[in-house]
Structure 1
Amino acid sequence: MSATSGNPVPSAPPSYEEAVGINVNYPHPYPIPGPGQKPDGKGMNPSPHMGQPPPANNPITVQTVYVQQPVLFYDRPVQMCCPSCNQVIVTRLSYDSGALTWLSCGGLCLLGCIGGCCLIPFCIDALKDVDHTCPKCGALLGSYKRL
């Protein structure tokens, strides 16, 4: 059929990318020569949309994620952000009798310290477990167990 007879000239079939639905306007990781260009890359012009900001009608939302490192509790106060009141604080320490305190008491009893000397471990903070609390809201933040 010719163009003079009034019938349209059939167009070329769609390319593979157009038929499959691949976005042909997306910049390829390596240049693809177009018609009339050499495959060695000479004479190639970058596409007009490369290096330009995205259109204003399609805003890009950026979400910032803050990851807090886990806090390790020992027998010293820790500076941290309280998860309960979201304030930067230094933890308040309180001491409770734990397994090491009771084992020390039992060991002293076996050595013959029966006249009350076996209760000395209950007076020594270095043998007790440590609880870390927030001084502003009073929330229990963590514990350090001696054993």
Structure 2
Amino acid sequence: MRQAVMVEPGKIEFGDVPEPKAGEGQILMRIKRIGVCGSDIHVNKGKHPFTSYPIIQGHEFSAVVEAVGPGVDNVKVGQKVTARPQVVCGKCGPCKRGDYHVCQNLKVEGFQTNGCAQDLFVTTRDKIVPLPDSFTFEQGALIEPLACGAHSTRRAGDLTG
């Protein structure tokens, strides 16, 4: 399968690697669309303080389920999906409280761990977000950035007046 690896700021190399498989509790997805946000541009320019190279970018995406591993019952092969890009430890204090967004060992796909800029990508069942059949792949790739905006708006509270 094809993979786009940013080997250093501004330099992307395309290569062929073996196709991944879906293991226990995992979903193999065929990537259909990938968004590019401001943070991705910082990585491209070598200006992201928490990214090392080489890295496979991509954290805003839509995909189709290609295969599911044992223990996956929340999506089906052929279904449109996206997934949360955060990789959390599940063991620190914030994670134990359910505050995964402030995990003390937080990694984000495309920044501290490889992302989805490849033909196929594997994620875990707890991160998958099924999409309605009526969504286009373009709309599906906008779920993550729209969630950021919705979360910010909710946190800001009432701004009238």
**TM over 0.5, shorter chain:** no
* TM-score class, shorter: under 0.3
Normalization by structure 1: what TM-score? 0.22
Decide which structure has the larger Cα Rg and report it: 1
